[in-house]
Amino acid sequence: MAKVTRDDVARLAGTSTAVVSYVINNGPRPVAPATRERVLAAIKELGYRPDRVAQAMASQRTDLIGLIVPDARQPFFAEMAHAVEQAAAERGKMVLVGNSDYLDEREVHYLRAFLGMRVSGLILISQGPSEHAAAEIDAWDARVVLLHRRPDAIDDVAVVLDDVGGARRVTRHLLDHGHPYVACLGGVDSTPESGDPVTDHVTGWREAMAEAGLDTEGRLFKAPYNRYGAYQVALDLLAGPDRPPALVCATDDQAIGVLRAARELRIDVPGALAVAGFDDVKEAALTDPPLTTVGSDREAMARAAVDLATGEPGNGGAGAPPDRLRQFPFTMRVRRSCGCAGD
């Protein structure tokens, strides 16, 4: 059976091959609704399948979006990746995902690989400051959007959350319960860096404590971002003589590890220890007790990142320069781990 071509579709629909192309690619020129319907009906009747490889070779761009995350095993990054994939699918794009594993060389590896595939855009959830990644991005003519984190070394368009404000708000919430102070479980890296969400969470905690006239000295503890490492740190912290009355964690995954350690040590949460997290992963609503946390509209952030990465009109494409920074507001999710009678 002969292969169906774009010429065949145009002939059956009574239009030009250029119009067929506009319908298939949703542009760059508009097509009248009646004409679009005829083309779509012809495509269906003939069983036409566009040659994506040929299209990519002609346009020097594919229908692919590259997405690099630090660790897709962590719930926050998994949920963000899913939101990006959904937003991309709505725009007729597919997503390639690479895990940097918090390693500079792997981040650069995926940058080089995805940009070399001529992806239509690339979304980077960076593992940290990287001059090598910045140099790699500068070497390619591609749209790169930073999501969740904006390292100083990379000056590309970014879609982020008000991390400082969210951490400040949740710390104030714990203090409003009457605790003499709130401790903080931050990350293992103590080097401050603008654009690092975990560092911003620590900054927000410090600001809230300072506003309340409270000292933070000796009340910041380091732990890996994941629940397993945080669980080990929490076992020592909660079993010691200086157990804090309340603890705000830089990530929900850390908070889940803390809740597990508290349960093993028979420490009542929230009676003897109030706990809050950050990220509002879906699992936070199912912990025991359910976790108070700070969330964001991940779907809206993902849509903004995809639109910016692909140059959609109104979001930095079609000749309009994008805003360099798009900051989304946070949302408090009040549940029982802080002492409220929430969910």
- pLDDT tens track for 148-179: 987 665 666 889 999 999 999 999 999 999 99
Is residue 67 a contact partner of residue 283, using CB atoms and an 8 Å limit?
A: no
**pLDDT at res. 319:** 38
Q: How much is the average pLDDT of 103-130?
A: 84
The band of 51, judged by pLDDT with boundaries at 50, 70 and 90, is low
pLDDT in tens, 244-294: 999 999 999 999 999 999 999 999 999 999 999 999 999 999 999 999 999
Question: What's the Cα-to-Cα distance from 57 to each of 54, 74, 116, 117, 317, rounded to whole Å?
Answer: 5, 36, 13, 11, 22
| Of 10 and 29, more confident | 10
Is the predicted pLDDT of residue 186 greater than 60, yes or no? yes
Helices (H), 129-226: 131-138, 163-176, 197-211
The pTM is what?
0.77
Question: What's the Cα-to-Cα distance from 330 to each of 11, 160, 167, 254, 333, rounded to whole Å?
Answer: 53, 10, 9, 19, 10
Task: From 146, 167, 173, select the one nearest 157 (Cα to Cα).
Answer: 146
Lowest average pLDDT, out of 80-89, 147-156, 326-335, goes to 147-156
Is the predicted pLDDT of residue 323 greater than 50, yes or no? yes
**pLDDT at res. 57:** 45
**pLDDT at res. 153:** 54
> How far apart (Å, rounded) are the C-alpha atoms in residues 246 and 223?
16
Residue with tokens 């009109």: 313
| Of 45 and 1, more confident | 45
Is residue 145 a contact partner of residue 247, using CB atoms and an 8 Å limit?
A: no
The band of 144, judged by pLDDT with boundaries at 50, 70 and 90, is confident
Beta strands in 187-287 (DSSP E): 220-222, 246-249, 274-276
At 138, phi and psi to the nearest 5?
A: -65, -25
At 300, phi and psi to the nearest 5?
A: -65, -40
Q: How much is the average pLDDT of 102-115?
A: 88
Residues in Cβ contact with 318 at an 8 Å cutoff, skipping those fewer than 6 apart: 311, 312
**pLDDT at res. 4:** 83
Is the predicted pLDDT of residue 53 greater than 50, yes or no? no
The band of 80, judged by pLDDT with boundaries at 50, 70 and 90, is very high
Q: Which residues pair with 67 in a beta bridge?
A: 97, 123
